[in-house]
Every structure is written in C-alpha cells, then in structure tokens.
Amino acid sequence: MLAYPEILARLLISAVLGGVIGIEREANNRPAGFRTHILVSVGSTLIMLVSMYAIPQPADRARIAAQVVSGIGFLGAGTILRTGSTIRGLTTAASLWVCAGIGLAIGSGYYFGGVVTAMIVLISLVVLSKVEKNVFRGANRIVIVKALDRSGLIGEIGVIFGHHSISIRNITIEDFTNDDDDPSGVIEIKFYIKKPIGFDISILDEELHLIRGVESVDLDNGKIVNN
C-alpha cells in the first residue's frame, strides 16, 4: 500500500495536468472545460490506484483500469454536437479521453509519461491550432448567390464549383418572391463550401456572373470556423 503523501501527490499532479488542459478548452468556450477535465483526470487516477493497491492480489487489476478507456467514450460522446453538416466537439472529446489516459498514468506512478503527454496535448491544442488556422485560412467559406429562380440553376453553379475542385458542404435557399403566382422570383442561395488551399476564390465572381439569371455574387463572407 502506498503512503498517504504519495497518494496525495499523484491525485494533485493529475488534477493539475487535467486542469491545465481544461483551461484551454474553457477559454475556447467548449462543452467540457476546466472542472470536467479535472474530474476525468483525478477519477482515472483514483481508479488506477484502487486497481493497483486496493484490490486483492488474485483479482484482475488491469480489468478495472481498462474500463476507464471504454467508459470515457460515453462522456466524450456527450460533447459532440452536429448541426447540419458541421460537427463540433471532437477535439474536446479527444482531450477528455487523453486526460483519462494521463490520470491512469499518474495513478500507476508513470509520472514521466503522464507529464510528457500533457505537454504534447497542450502544444497540440494551443500551438498547432494556430498553425492549422494559418495554413488552412479561408479553406471553408460561404458563397452567396442571388439569382432569378429557374430550373437547373444550382446544377450550373455546382458544375463551376466542381471544375475548381470545390466541395459543397451545405446549401440554404431563401425565396424573396412576394407573389405566389410568379414562380420566377429572386432567390438567395447560400453555399457552404470548402475550396482547395491556395485557390483564388475571386475567380468565381466572373464565372458565376456568366450564368443566366445571376444578379449578384458575395464572396466576402470569410472562413467558417468548425472546431
């Protein structure tokens, strides 16, 4: 059985490491933040301590700790939200899962692995997220097209996007027609797209205006932050 100071040290170290990761998530207004990450990390440490030092020798100690890995999936699933074609919360779910692993490592006395893992997680969340945003800046955008409603319009726009290897993630349409008897009113089509890195989206302005019935094209809606 471990001495009380050692048990206390492991629980506190686990709380600090989980809390630091949770602060980053809290700062970015994610579903699971500071307190949740601490609870996951400390709880995993306690489970590991129980499995190693509080379970009789004949019992399968590893089986108890292994349940943390699968059980944390239920908590992580609760942080994942889907709105249309956009999925949010995957990074937070992953950080909770890693915190569980860090807690198990600290609980077993594997301090080096737990601390290094926490440092790598922080670098990934703080530093690499900025690199990712700079590298993929503008990859996800919104293109708004106002045009006279007619058959085949969206198809022709889609052909232009496809020619430039632009994928359409979602489409919303708003009808500006006030007269129900006039089927050829003006509609606003909002395309949520992902363009290739380095592609000059201004090229679309001229090409989209060549389509019959297109009145205006708005390409200046900026990027969409998904995660």
Phi, psi dihedrals of residue 157, rounded to the nearest 5°: -65, -40
- What number is the average pLDDT over the span 138-163? 88
Torsion of CA 110, 112, 115, 118, to 10 degrees: -90
Domains, in order of start, for the chain: 4-135 (no CATH), 140-218 (3.30.70.260)
The whole-angstrom separation of Cα 18 and Cα 39 is: 8
What is the per-residue pLDDT across 164-185, written as a single tens digit (0 to 9) for each?
988 888 888 888 765 555 555 8
At 9, the pLDDT band (50, 70, 90 cuts) reads: very high
pLDDT in tens, 73-111: 777 777 666 555 556 677 788 888 889 889 989 988 889
Q: What is the largest CA-CA distance in the chain?
A: 83
pLDDT at 179: 55
| Average of per-residue pLDDT values in the chain | 80
- Confidence check: pLDDT of 122 > 50: yes
Tell me, what's the pLDDT at 200? Answer: 84
- Sequence-distant (6+) residues with CB within 8 A of 219 are 141, 143, 201, 202, 204, 205
> Cα–Cα distance between 172 and 31 in angstroms, integer?
27
Q: What is the pTM of this model?
A: 0.57
